[in-house]
C-alpha cells in the first residue's frame, strides 16, 4: 500500500492502495448526478436487491412529510440479508463471529444463521406473533439478539430493540408505547467480569407495564432467575420442541411495512418510537455500507456498537448482512480484562474494517499506545467513527496508533431518524480531522439560520437536509403530529428536515458538526433527553422539580449536571445527592446517571415557565450568565 501523504493544509489523503480498491473512484460527478436524478440513483441501488415484486413508484411524495419509497414493491429484509445468500457461494461463508467476554466463541455461517432464524421464527409464530405486531427485544450482545431481530423481520413482525443497558422505567414505557405482547430477553450478559441482571429488570418492567403475555429468556449467565408459569419460557426449551422446525417461508412484506421501531430521546420526557421500513431502509443501509466501508467479499467487518442502537441495527445487522459480509460481535467491555481487548480481537480475527465511537477511542487512548502496539493491526484497511464529533486529538491517535497512518477514518454523521449515513467521507475523500466531510449520494444539506437563509462559510447554524431519502424514518409510532412538529415545522415552507444539530460548512464545503442545539444530550455518544432525566428525578419522593443539563467533558463529550428542588420535609445532603444519582440509574440506566446533583430553592425560568438551561450551564461552569432580560423575577 502506498504511503499516506499529508499535505500542508492538514488534508489527509487516503493511500493509493485504499483508493485503488474503492468502488467509487470519483465523488463530485456521481454526487451531482445523484442529486439531479435522485430517483434514478435510488432505483438503480434498489435494483441490486431482491424484490418479490418490483415497485411502481420510486418516491411517493403526495403526502409530505410522510414520504414513501418503492411503493407497490414487495420484499423482506431477510430475503436480502439471508435468503438470497443461500443460493450463492456466500452460503457457507461466516456470517457471524461472536466472542463472549469470558472468551467463549461461537460462529455461524449464513447457512447456520438461517437455520436458527427460521427455527426461532417458527417459535415466535407458535407463541402467537404475527405480521403487524411489535415484539420487544431486551438482550445483551449475544448471537440470539441478531437471530431474534431477523426472526421477527422474517415473519413480518416489527422488532423494538431496547438497549440492554437501559433499566426498569425506560424498558417499561417502551413496552407500553409499543403495546408489545412478546418480550425476548436473557438472564443477563457479562460485563467487566460480572453477570448483569437483565431478567430481574425485565420482571419489574413487565410488572409496571402489563401488556406482555409471553417472555422468552436466553440462558447466558446461568444465574438463577424468576420464571412465571404460563408467561416465561426458556429459549433453549422452545428451540428444542417440534414447533421449532427449521423450515420457514419468509413473509413477503410491502416496501413500506415496518421493519422496526427504535426509540430515541427527544426534547420531551417521552421517547419517540421511530419507524423504519423493509424497502427503503434496506436499500439505504445496504448502499451506504457498501460505498462508505467499501466492503469486499473477503473482508471481516467489526462495528463495535451495541445492536440495540441504530448503529447496530444498520451496520452490525442489516447493511453488512445484505452485503454478505462477515460480522464480528463482542459481548463485553473494551478494557476487560485489559485495555488491549479490542486490539487483540482485531489481530485474532484479522479485522479489515473497524467502526466505533469517539468516546471509546478517547477511553482507550487514556491507557497509552503500548496496549495497541502489542498487536499486529496490519489487517486494518479502513476505520470509522460515529455518535458525536471526534476531536482532532482523538482522530489523530486513532489514525496513527490504530491505523498506522494507512487507514482513512470514515467519520459518519447520521441519526436514528436517518437510518444510515448522511454526511460521510468515502475511502477516496481527502480528510480533515474532526470533519464528517461531505453529503452522501442523493443528499443536499445546508447550514441555515432560523429564517432558512444559508449562513456564511464558517458560521454556525442549523443543519438541515433538503430532500427525502429512502432510509428516513417514516413517522413516530402513534404520534404523527410530533413527527411534523419536531422535524418539519420550522422549515415547513421549504420542506426541509431539521436535524437538531448545529454545524458549520467551511470554504471547501466540508461539514463540521458542533453538536445538538436542542435539549438532547450526548453522553459517551449515547443520546439522552434532559426531560427524561428530569422525570426520573421527580419520580423520587424527595424531589419536586429538576433540571438536567450537559457539561463538557474530555472523555465522555458531555456529563450530566442536575439541579433539584426538594419537597418540604427533605433536606440537602451528600447521601441524598448520591441516592438521587442511583435512582436515575435504576429508572433509566447507568448511562443517564448524573455526575453532579446540586440542590437549589428555585430554577431560573422564563416568564412563560421554560427552564433557562443556558443560565444553569453558565452557573455550573462559573461563567457569565449573559442576557437575563427574559428571566422571571
What is the smallest separation between the CB atom of 421 and ligand PRX, expressed in angstroms? 8
First to last CA, the chain: 66
Q: Does 398 bind ligand PRX (CB under 6 A)?
A: no
The span from the CA of 195 to the CA of 495, in Å, is 49
Torsion of CA 226, 190, 289, 278, to 10 degrees: 0
Q: Which of 163, 395, 399, 413 binds ligand PRX (CB under 6 A)?
A: 413
What is the smallest separation between the CB atom of 504 and ligand PRX, expressed in angstroms? 12
The answer to whether the beta carbons of residues 161 and 307 sit under 8 Å apart is yes
Q: Does 490 bind ligand PRX (CB under 6 A)?
A: no
Q: Which of 363, 387, 427, 433 binds ligand PRX (CB under 6 A)?
A: 387
The answer to whether the beta carbons of residues 467 and 443 sit under 8 Å apart is yes
Q: Up-side HSE of residue 3: CA atoms within 13 Å toward CB?
A: 3
What is the smallest separation between the CB atom of 274 and ligand PRX, expressed in angstroms? 9
Q: Which of 331, 347, 411, 532 binds ligand PRX (CB under 6 A)?
A: 411
- What mask of x and - would describe binding to ligand PRX in positions 119 to 158, judged by CB under 6 A? ----------------------------------------
Stretch that binds ligand PRX, among 5-13, 141-149, 333-341, 408-416 (CB under 6 A): 408-416
Q: Does 435 bind ligand PRX (CB under 6 A)?
A: no
Q: Does 288 bind ligand PRX (CB under 6 A)?
A: no
Nearest to 408 by CA among 389, 388, 435: 435
The span from the CA of 99 to the CA of 141, in Å, is 9
Bridge partners (DSSP) of residue 274 are 262, 476
- What mask of x and - would describe binding to ligand PRX in positions 31 to 70, judged by CB under 6 A? ----------------------------------------
The span from the CA of 600 to the CA of 566, in Å, is 8
Q: Which of 264, 288, 359, 563 binds ligand PRX (CB under 6 A)?
A: 264
CB atoms near residue 197 (< 10 Å): 15
Q: Does 359 bind ligand PRX (CB under 6 A)?
A: no
The answer to whether the beta carbons of residues 240 and 60 sit under 8 Å apart is no
b/e burial code for range 161-193 (CB count within 10 A of at least 16 → b) = bbbbbbbbbbbbbbbebbebbbbbbbbbbbbee
Residues in Cβ contact with 569 at an 8 Å cutoff, skipping those fewer than 6 apart: none
What is the smallest separation between the CB atom of 48 and ligand PRX, expressed in angstroms? 23
Stretch that binds ligand PRX, among 359-367, 411-419, 480-488, 585-593 (CB under 6 A): 411-419
Q: Which is nearer to ligand PRX, 77 or 262 (CB)?
A: 262
Q: Does 587 bind ligand PRX (CB under 6 A)?
A: no
Q: Which is nearer to ligand PRX, 341 or 516 (CB)?
A: 516
Q: Which of 386, 401, 465, 615 binds ligand PRX (CB under 6 A)?
A: 386
Q: Which of 322, 328, 401, 436 binds ligand PRX (CB under 6 A)?
A: 436
What is the smallest separation between the CB atom of 429 and ligand PRX, expressed in angstroms? 14
What is the smallest separation between the CB atom of 424 and ligand PRX, expressed in angstroms? 8
The answer to whether the beta carbons of residues 517 and 500 sit under 8 Å apart is yes
What is the smallest separation between the CB atom of 349 and ligand PRX, expressed in angstroms? 24
Q: Does 414 bind ligand PRX (CB under 6 A)?
A: yes
- Residue 253: φ, ψ to 5°: -90, 155
Nearest to 532 by CA among 552, 517, 546: 546
What's the Cα-to-Cα distance from 570 to each of 288, 328, 546, 573, 576, rounded to whole Å?
Answer: 54, 50, 15, 9, 9
Stretch that binds ligand PRX, among 3-11, 499-507, 559-567, 615-623 (CB under 6 A): 499-507
Convert 400-460 into a string of H (helix), E (strand) and C (coil).
Answer: HHHCCCCCCEEECECCCCCCCCCECCCCCCCECCCCCECECCCCCEEEECCCCCECCCCCC
The answer to whether the beta carbons of residues 521 and 550 sit under 8 Å apart is yes
Q: Which of 500, 529, 589, 604 binds ligand PRX (CB under 6 A)?
A: 500
Convert 94-107 into a string of H (helix), E (strand) and C (coil).
Answer: EEEEEECCCCCEEE
Q: Which is nearer to ligand PRX, 408 or 604 (CB)?
A: 408
Show contacts with ligand PRX in window 165-194 (CB under 6 A).
none
Q: Which is nearer to ligand PRX, 118 or 424 (CB)?
A: 424
What is the smallest separation between the CB atom of 435 and ligand PRX, expressed in angstroms? 9
Number of residues counted as binding ligand PRX (CB under 6 A): 22
Nearest to 395 by CA among 379, 381, 407: 407
The span from the CA of 275 to the CA of 259, in Å, is 8
Residue the block writes with cell 423481520: 153
The span from the CA of 292 to the CA of 261, in Å, is 25
Show contacts with ligand PRX in window 309-338 (CB under 6 A).
310-311
What is the smallest separation between the CB atom of 606 and ligand PRX, expressed in angstroms? 25
Nearest to 13 by CA among 21, 22, 5: 5
Q: Does 501 bind ligand PRX (CB under 6 A)?
A: yes
What is the smallest separation between the CB atom of 282 and ligand PRX, expressed in angstroms? 18
Q: Does 289 bind ligand PRX (CB under 6 A)?
A: no
Q: Does 527 bind ligand PRX (CB under 6 A)?
A: yes
What is the smallest separation between the CB atom of 612 and ligand PRX, expressed in angstroms? 22
Tell me which residues touch ligand PRX (CB under 6 A).
264, 310-311, 386-389, 411-416, 436, 499-501, 513, 515-516, 522, 527
Amino acid at each position: 500500500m502506498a504511503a499516506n501523504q499529508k499535505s500542508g493544509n492538514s488534508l489527509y489523503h487516503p493511500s493509493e492502495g485504499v483508493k485503488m480498491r474503492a468502488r467509487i473512484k470519483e465523488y463530485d460527478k456521481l454526487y451531482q448526478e445523484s442529486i439531479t436524478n435522485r430517483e434514478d440513483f435510488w432505483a438503480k441501488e434498489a435494483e441490486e436487491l431482491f424484490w418479490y415484486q418490483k415497485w411502481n413508484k420510486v418516491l411517493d411524495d403526495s403526502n409530505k412529510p410522510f414520504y414513501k419509497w418503492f411503493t407497490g414493491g414487495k420484499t423482506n429484509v431477510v430475503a436480502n440479508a439471508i435468503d438470497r445468500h443461500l443460493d450463492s457461494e456466500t452460503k457457507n461463508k461466516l456470517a457471524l463471529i461472536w466472542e463472549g467476554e469470558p472468551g467463549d466463541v461461537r460462529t455461524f455461517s449464513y447457512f447456520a444463521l438461517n437455520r436458527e432464524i427460521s427455527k426461532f421464527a417458527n417459535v415466535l409464530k407458535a407463541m402467537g406473533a404475527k405480521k403487524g405486531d411489535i415484539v420487544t427485544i431486551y438482550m445483551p450482545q449475544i448471537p440470539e439478539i441478531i437471530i431474534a431481530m431477523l426472526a421477527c423481520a422474517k415473519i413480518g413482525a416489527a422488532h423494538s430493540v431496547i438497549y440492554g443497558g437501559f433499566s426498569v422505567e425506560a424498558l417499561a414505557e417502551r413496552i407500553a408505547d409499543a403495546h408489545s405482547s412478546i418480550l425476548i430477553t436473557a438472564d443477563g450478559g457479562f460485563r467487566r467480569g460480572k453477570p448483569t441482571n437483565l431478567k430481574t429488570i425485565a420482571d419489574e418492567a413487565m410488572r409496571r407495564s402489563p401488556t406482555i403475555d409471553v417472555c422468552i429468556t436466553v440462558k447466558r449467565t446461568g444465574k438463577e432467575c424468576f420464571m412465571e408459569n404460563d408467561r416465561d419460557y426458556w429459549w433453549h426449551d422452545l428451540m428444542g420442541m417440534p414447533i421449532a422446525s427449521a423450515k420457514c417461508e419468509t413473509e413477503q412484506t410491502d416496501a413500506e411495512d415496518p421493519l422496526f421501531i427504535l426509540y430515541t430521546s427527544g426534547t420531551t420526557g417521552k421517547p419517540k418510537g421511530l419507524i423504519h421500513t423493509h424497502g427503503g431502509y434496506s436499500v439505504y443501509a445496504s448502499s451506504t455500507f457498501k460505498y462508505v466501508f467499501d466492503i469486499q467479499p473477503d473482508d471481516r467487518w467489526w462495528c463495535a456498537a451495541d445492536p440495540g442502537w441504530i448503529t447496530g441495527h444498520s451496520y452490525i445487522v442489516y447493511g453488512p448482512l445484505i452485503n454478505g459480509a462477515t460480522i464480528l460481535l463482542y459481548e463485553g467491555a473494551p478494557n476487560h480484562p485489559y485495555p488491549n481487548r479490542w486490539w487483540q480481537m482485531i489481530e485474532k480475527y484479522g479485522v479489515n474494517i473497524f467502526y466505533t465511537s469517539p468516546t471509546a477511542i478517547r477511553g482507550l487512548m487514556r491507557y497509552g499506545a503500548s496496549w495497541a502496539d502489542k498487536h499486529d493491526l496490519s489487517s486494518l484497511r479502513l476505520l470509522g467513527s460515529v455518535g458525536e464529533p471526534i476531536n482532532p486529538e482523538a482522530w489523530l491517535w486513532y489514525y496513527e496508533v490504530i491505523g498506522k497512518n494507512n487507514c482513512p477514518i470514515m467519520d459518519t454523521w447520521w441519526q436514528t431518524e436517518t437510518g444510515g449515513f448522511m454526511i460521510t467521507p468515502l475511502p477516496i475523500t481527502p480528510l480533515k480531522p474532526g470533519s464528517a466531510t461531505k453529503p452522501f449520494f442523493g443528499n443536499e444539506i445546508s447550514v441555515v439560520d432560523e429564517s432558512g437563509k444559508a449562513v456564511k462559510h464558517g458560521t454556525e447554524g442549523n443543519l438541515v437536509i433538503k430532500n427525502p431519502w429512502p432510509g428516513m424514518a417514516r413517522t413516530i409510532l402513534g404520534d404523527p403530529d410530533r413527527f411534523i412538529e419536531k422535524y418539519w415545522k420550522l422549515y415547513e415552507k421549504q420542506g426541509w428536515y431539521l436535524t437538531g444539530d448545529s454545524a458549520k460548512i467551511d470554504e471547501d464545503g466540508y461539514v463540521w458538526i458542533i453538536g445538538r442545539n436542542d435539549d438532547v444530550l450526548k453522553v459517551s455518544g449515547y443520546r439522552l433527553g434532559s426531560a427524561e432525566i428530569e422525570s426520573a428525578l421527580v419520580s423520587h419522593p424527595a424531589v419536586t422539580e429538576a433540571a438536567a443539563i450537559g457539561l463538557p467533558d474530555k472523555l465522555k463529550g458531555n456529563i450530566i449536571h442536575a439541579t433539584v428542588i426538594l419537597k418540604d420535609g427533605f433536606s440537602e445532603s451528600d447521601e441524598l445527592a448520591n441516592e438521587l444519582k442511583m435512582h436515575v440509574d435504576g429508572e433509566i440506566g447507568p448511562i443517564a446517571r448524573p455526575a453532579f446533583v446540586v440542590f437549589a430553592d428555585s430554577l431560573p425560568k422564563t416568564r412563560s415557565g421554560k427552564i433557562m438551561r443556558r443560565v444553569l450551564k453558565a452557573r455550573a461552569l462559573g461563567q457569565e450568565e449573559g442576557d437575563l432580560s427574559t428571566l422571571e423575577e
